[in-house]
C-alpha cells in the first residue's frame, strides 16, 4: 500500500470530491496563499483555481458565508485555522448552521464541513491548544467527527463532504505528520458517519478513545498485553452521533471500561460515554469506570508544564492494572 501523512490524506479527499462535484469549494485564512498553515490544503489552489478562497480574518464571515452558500445550493468546506477560534462565530454555528434545516421544516439543508485543527501542539499555549469537541456534541443538528489516522482522515472527510447535514471535522495538529497505509481508490471502503471501529479485539478491558487519544489507547493496550491482559480498543471516530451499541457490546464482554481524551477531563465527551454505560450496562461492570483527560486548567506554554497536563499510555496502564 501507499503511505500518506494525515495532511496528505485530507488533501486527497478534497481533490477526489472536488473533481466529482463542482459545487464544492473551500474558504478560510491563508489557504490559497500558502496551502493552509499545516499544509493540509497544499496543491489544491493550483489544481482547483478559484475554488480555494482566502478570506479576511473574520471567523464570523467564514462560517456565516459558508452557511449562506450551503443554503443557496453549494457544498462549502470552511477552515477555522485553529479550533480555538470557533468561539468567535458561535451564533453562526449553533443557531444557524445547526438549526436551519429544522427551522425550515426540511425545505433547506446545510451541507457544510467545518474543518477545525485542534489539540496540544508543542508550546501552542492556552489559546492555540484546546480540544473543544464536547461543546458541539451537545448541539442537535451538527455531526461531529474526529479521526485518528490517515486512512480514516480521508474516508471520514469524504463522508462529511458528501453529507447533507453540517459536520464539524476535528483534525489534531500533531497527527498531520503521522503516516499510515492508504489503499488505492478502488479498494477504499466508504465510511458511514456514526460508526465506531473495534481496532483491537480483547476480553479483559475496553479502552475507548478518538483522535490523538487513540495513541494512548493503543500504547496502553501494548503495555497491558505484556502482562497477559487483553484490552479491546475502540476508536469512536464519530462523536455525534456516537456508536453506543459497539461500546456497550464490548463492555458486556470485558466487564471493565477505560476512557481517554486529550481534552480537559471535566465535562469532556468521555463523561457522556461513562454516564451511558452506567445507565445501560452497570450490571456488567466489575470495576469502576476509569476516565483520563487533561486537568482543569489552561494549557501552559512552558514545555515542562505542558507535559504535566498531557495523558500518557503509562497512566492508563497503571489505572487499568488496579481494576483487577
Query: DSSP character for 175?
Result: G
Which residue from 305, 316, 141 is spatially nearest to 224, judged by alpha carbons?
316
Q: Which of 81, 128, 138, 255 is catalytic?
A: 128
- Cross-strand bridge partners of residue 209: 235
Question: What's the start-to-end Cα distance of the chain, in Å?
Answer: 40
The C-alpha angle 44, 45, 49, rounded to 5 degrees, equals 120
Does the active-site annotation cover 128? yes
Question: d(Cα 101, Cα 105) in Å, to the nearest integer?
Answer: 6
Helix (H) / strand (E) containing 239: strand 238-240
Contacts of 165 (CB under 8 A, 6+ apart): 101, 109, 110, 111, 141, 142, 143
Question: d(Cα 14, Cα 77) in Å, to the nearest integer?
Answer: 9
Rg (CA), the chain: 20
Using the structure block, give the residue that is written with the C-alpha cell 483534525. 171
Using the structure block, give the residue that is written with the C-alpha cell 496543491. 43
Q: What are phi and psi of 208, to 5 degrees?
A: -120, 135
State yes or no: cis peptide before 69, omega within 30 of 0: no
Query: DSSP character for 108?
Result: -
What sign has the CA pseudo-torsion 317, 250, 214, 185?
A: positive
Question: d(Cα 100, Cα 92) in Å, to the nearest integer?
Answer: 10
Active-site residues, by number, are 128
Amino acid at each position: 500500500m501507499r503511505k500518506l501523512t494525515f495532511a496528505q490524506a485530507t488533501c486527497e479527499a478534497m481533490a477526489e470530491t472536488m473533481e466529482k462535484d463542482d459545487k464544492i469549494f473551500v474558504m478560510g485564512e491563508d489557504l490559497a496563499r500558502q496551502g493552509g498553515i499545516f499544509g493540509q490544503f497544499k496543491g489544491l489552489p493550483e489544481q482547483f483555481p478559484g475554488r480555494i478562497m482566502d478570506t479576511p480574518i473574520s471567523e464570523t464571515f467564514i462560517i456565516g458565508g459558508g452557511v449562506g452558500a450551503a443554503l443557496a445550493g453549494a457544498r462549502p468546506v470552511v477552515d477555522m485555522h485553529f479550533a480555538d477560534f470557533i468561539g468567535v462565530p458561535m451564533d453562526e454555528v449553533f443557531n444557524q448552521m445547526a438549526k436551519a434545516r429544522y427551522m425550515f421544516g426540511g425545505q433547506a439543508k446545510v451541507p457544510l464541513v467545518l474543518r477545525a485543527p485542534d489539540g496540544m501542539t508543542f508550546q501552542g499555549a492556552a489559546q492555540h491548544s484546546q480540544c473543544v469537541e464536547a461543546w458541539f456534541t451537545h448541539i442537535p443538528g451538527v455531526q461531529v467527527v474526529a479521526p485518528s489516522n490517515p486512512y480514516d482522515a480521508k474516508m471520514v472527510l469524504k463522508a462529511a463532504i458528501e453529507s447533507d447535514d453540517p459536520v464539524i471535522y476535528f483534525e489534531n495538529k500533531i497527527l498531520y505528520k503521522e503516516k499510515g497505509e492508504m489503499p488505492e481508490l478502488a479498494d477504499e471502503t466508504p465510511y458511514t458517519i456514526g460508526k465506531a471501529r473495534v481496532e483491537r479485539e480483547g476480553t479483559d478491558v475496553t479502552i475507548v478513545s478518538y483522535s490523538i487519544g487513540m495513541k494512548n489507547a493503543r500504547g496502553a493496550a501494548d503495555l497491558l498485553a505484556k502482562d497477559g491482559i487483553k484490552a479491546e480498543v475502540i476508536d469512536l471516530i464519530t462523536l455525534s452521533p456516537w456508536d453506543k451499541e459497539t461500546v456497550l457490546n464490548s463492555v458486556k464482554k470485558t466487564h471493565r471500561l477505560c476512557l481517554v481524551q486529550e481534552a480537559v477531563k471535566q465535562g469532556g465527551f468521555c463523561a457522556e460515554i461513562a454516564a451511558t454505560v452506567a445507565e445501560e450496562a452497570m450490571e456488567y461492570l466489575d470495576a469502576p469506570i476509569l476516565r483520563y483527560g487533561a486537568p482543569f486548567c489552561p494549557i501552559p506554554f512552558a514545555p515542562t508544564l505542558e507535559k504535566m497536563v498531557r495523558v500518557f499510555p503509562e497512566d492508563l496502564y497503571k489505572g487499568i492494572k488496579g481494576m483487577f
